[in-house]
Amino acid sequence: MSDTILAVRDLCKRFGALAAVDGVTLEVARGEKLGIIGPNGSGKTTLINCVTGVVRPDRGAVIFDGTDVSGLPAYRRARLGIARSFQIPRPFVGISVLENIRVPLDYVHRPHRDATRARELLSLVGLDGRADHPAESLTHLELRKLELARALAAEPRLLIADEVMAGLAENEIDEVLKTLFTLNDQGVTVVMIEHIMHAIMRFSRRLICMETGRIIADGAPQDVRRNPEVRRVYFGK
């Protein structure tokens, strides 16, 4: 088993005249805690969409654990072990919270006979009281927890958490961080995209900053924070 779990090579994606991702090359080591920061529109989510298969890049390759997944549909990549949460929560409305969790359980692994595992996951994120409620009745905070729980249900080898802490209270942020740390201890590689600086600084061992589709800094969090390019992007000249 090589050390690299995810490799992205010269990835490019344009939307009309806009280059959302402009030649990104990146390697993520197995078991790493990688943070990605950057202003809105810098291409972070598009990069993730290309990695997970939601969007087809114009150029470049995505290699997951040695396998070239560039041509695979998203559901196959999910089954290989990539899970992500969405920046804006996308619950499965029309079914209950419990059934929402059962979907990845049934499809990433195999159909479960009952809902035991699903209920365990719900209590992990504190949603067990809402198990039988329709997904559309959840508050925004609860939706974020559902997003995380759904990603956890897939038991991924690589978890991409896209702004999973936005809008959470301090103690809730701590809880989510604890969950992610535990996951990482169990061997899951975690890539975190966040705007909440103190959280991502605490969590990441390596930080990447993106701007207009390119990686402009890559290294230890403290070093990246002091990087003049990064300061310019966030604070101006």
Partner 1 sequence: MKTRHFVAAAIAVLALGAVAPRVVGNGYVFYAGFIALQYVVIATAWNILGGYAGFVNFGSGAFVGVGVYAAVFLFNALQAPLWAQILGAACVGGLLGLGMGYLTLRIQGVYFSIGTLALTTVVSTFIVNWSFVGAARGATVMAPHPQIWFPNVVSYVFFAMLTMAVLSVAIARWIERSWIGRGLAAIRADGNAAECAGVPTLRLKLLAATISGALLATAGAPYPYYASYVEPDSAFSINYALNALAMPLIGGTRNWTGPVIGALLLSGVEQAATVTIPSEINLLIVGLVLIGFVVLAPEGLLGLAGQAVAWGRPR
Which stretches of the chain bind partner 1, using CB under 8 A?
52-54, 73-75, 78-79, 83-84, 86, 90-95, 99, 102-104, 106-108, 111-112, 135, 150, 154
Minimum distance from residue 49 beta carbon to partner 1 (Å): 9
Q: Which is nearer to partner 1, 147 or 211 (CB)?
A: 147
Buried b (16+ CB within 10 A) or exposed e, 173-193: bebbbebbeebbeeebbbbbb
- Please give the Cα distance from 20 to 14 (Å, whole number): 6
Q: Which tokens hold the place of 78?
A: 């999910």
Q: How far is the CB of 55 from partner 1 (least distance, A)?
A: 9
122 exposed, middle or buried (CB, 10 Å; 0-12, 13-18, 19+)? Answer: buried
What are 35's two structure tokens? 């943070």
Q: How far is the CB of 205 from partner 1 (least distance, A)?
A: 25
Alpha helices in 126-196 (DSSP H): 140-153, 170-185
Nearer to partner 1, 48 or 209 (CB): 48
Q: Which is nearer to partner 1, 77 or 206 (CB)?
A: 77
For 128: left if phi > 0, alpha if psi spans -120 to 50, otherwise beta; the answer is alpha
Q: How far is the CB of 161 from partner 1 (least distance, A)?
A: 13
CA 179 to centroid of chain Cα atoms? 14
Nearer to partner 1, 95 or 141 (CB): 95
For partner 1, which is the closer residue by CB, 63 or 95? 95
| Shortest Cβ 231–partner 1 spacing (Å) | 34
